[in-house]
């Protein structure tokens, strides 16, 4: 069996790593990198640390609007599909790479398998929400990370090909997180002690618009604890272009690889983020999270008290950081670390598709 895996950003590299291992027993997998994340610290270093084979296809889909990105990716993905004639095109998550991969495959009649299907923030102003909804309708196999994702699909009338398998990112976390503390020197390099700092990630397009970025900076500058901030290139550029200054207690770093990030996240007192994947990572590490959005596709983390939605309101941000505590309950929401094996079994026919 032949599989073409379409990836383009940090979370997708992480999700694909354990599944690539599981597929080796039954499939010939080829990877296409759309170039959505093109900085080395957001791309190549992840292939190295995660043990991924270099991509067979490398596109240049990085910059531009959502339409420009997606349009630039489509011809290259279509060509890879036509040349390789895979049995399945595998797409991950909710990015423009996900949408382009699903569209290109569906247009030429190759079935699509969507890893992380069924997630909903119920906020159609988010480009990712539209991508999720469209890709789920193009997919023949829908691999859901949670029961809530299955229910979301059922509510939309999608039941064929739906499987609750658990979260492949959790598979990667279980395998690689223990290595992070052993190998990473990032805390020492930054000069912080475990539990003494906040970790910040900020990259979403809606949060780097001038007024929103200024509001977030206002809240962040009022915090008293040290903040470690591996800055996305887009965010760093927006800070400079809009003359937004951050306080001396905020250590702005270049983007970091998976192991360094895992070391920082697992030993922070609290995580501040606008990333969907990082909300989950914080939960797995038992670290409270403040999400710099007003909606989330990971509502179960909010319901359990591990995650608080602060949006971009500086007063709410400051209050959330002061008030968030470690909840008593920490159930295993995202499976048992065997999601990748289940997906491989279904793709390779060892388990019959539903």
Which residues have a catalytic role annotated? 203
Q: Which CA distances in Å does 171 have to 127, 154, 176, 182, 252?
A: 27, 25, 9, 19, 30
Q: What is the DSSP secondary-structure string of 260-300? A: HHHHHHHT-SEEEES-HHHHHHHHHHT--EEESSS--S-HH
Q: Are 6 and 100 in contact (CB under 8 A)?
A: yes
| Residues 6+ away with beta carbon under 8 Å from 95 | 8, 9, 12, 36, 128, 131
Please count the residues of the chain. Answer: 354
Q: Are 136 and 159 in contact (CB under 8 A)?
A: no
Q: What is the DSSP secondary-structure string of 21-32? A: HHHTTT-EEEEE
| Residues 6+ away with beta carbon under 8 Å from 57 | 30, 31, 32, 33, 76, 80
CA 137 from chain centre, in angstroms, equals: 21
b/e map of 274-284 (b: 16 or more CB within 10 Å)? bbbbbbbbbbb
Residue in 328, 330, 308, 327 with CA at minimum distance from that of residue 319: 308
- Cα 117 to Cα 126: distance, rounded to the nearest angstrom: 16
| Residues 6+ away with beta carbon under 8 Å from 288 | 269, 270, 271, 282, 306, 307, 308, 324, 325, 326, 327
Residue 207 has what DSSP assignment? G
Residue 253: strand pairing partners: 230
Q: What 3-state class would DSSP assign to 77?
A: helix
Q: Which CA distances in Å does 149 have to 11, 152, 163, 282, 287?
A: 18, 5, 10, 20, 23
């Amino acid at each position: 069996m032949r599989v073409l895996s379409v990836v383009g950003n940090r979370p997708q590299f992480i999700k694909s790593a354990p599944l690539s291992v599981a597929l080796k027993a039954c499939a010939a997998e080829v990877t296409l990198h759309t170039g959505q994340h093109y900085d080395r610290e957001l791309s190549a270093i992840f292939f190295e640390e995660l043990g991924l084979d270099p991509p067979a296809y490398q596109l240049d889909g990085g910059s531009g609007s959502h339409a420009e990105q997606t349009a630039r990716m489509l011809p290259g993905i279509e060509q890879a599909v036509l040349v390789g004639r895979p049995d399945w095109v595998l797409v991950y998550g909710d990015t423009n790479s996900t949408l382009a991969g699903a569209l290109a495959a569906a247009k030429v009649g190759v079935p699509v398998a969507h890893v992380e299907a069924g997630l909903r923030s119920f906020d159609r102003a988010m480009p990712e929400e539209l991508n999720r909804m469209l890709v789920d309708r193009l997919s023949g196999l829908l691999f859901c990370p949670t029961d809530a994702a299955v229910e979301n699909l059922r509510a939309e009338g999608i039941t064929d090909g739906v499987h609750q398998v658990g979260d492949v990112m959790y598979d990667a976390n279980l395998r690689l997180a223990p290595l992070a503390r052993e190998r990473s020197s990032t805390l020492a390099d930054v000069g912080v002690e475990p539990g003494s700092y906040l970790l910040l990630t900020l990259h979403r397009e809606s949060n780097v618009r001038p007024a929103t970025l200024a509001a977030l900076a206002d809240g962040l500058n009022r915090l008293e604890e040290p903040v470690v901030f591996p800055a996305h290139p887009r965010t760093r550029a927006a800070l400079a272009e809009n003359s937004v200054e951050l306080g001396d207690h905020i250590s702005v770093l270049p983007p970091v690889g998976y192991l360094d990030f895992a070391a920082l996240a697992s030993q922070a007192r609290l995580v501040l983020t606008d990333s969907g994947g990082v909300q989950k990572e914080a939960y797995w590490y038992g670290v409270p999270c403040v999400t710099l959005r007003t909606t989330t596709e990971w509502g179960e983390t909010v319901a359990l008290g591990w995650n608080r939605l602060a949006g971009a309101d500086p007063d709410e941000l400051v209050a959330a950081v002061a008030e968030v505590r470690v909840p008593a309950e920490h159930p295993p929401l995202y499976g048992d670390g065997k999601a990748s094996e289940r997906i491989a079994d279904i793709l390779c026919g060892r388990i019959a598709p539903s």
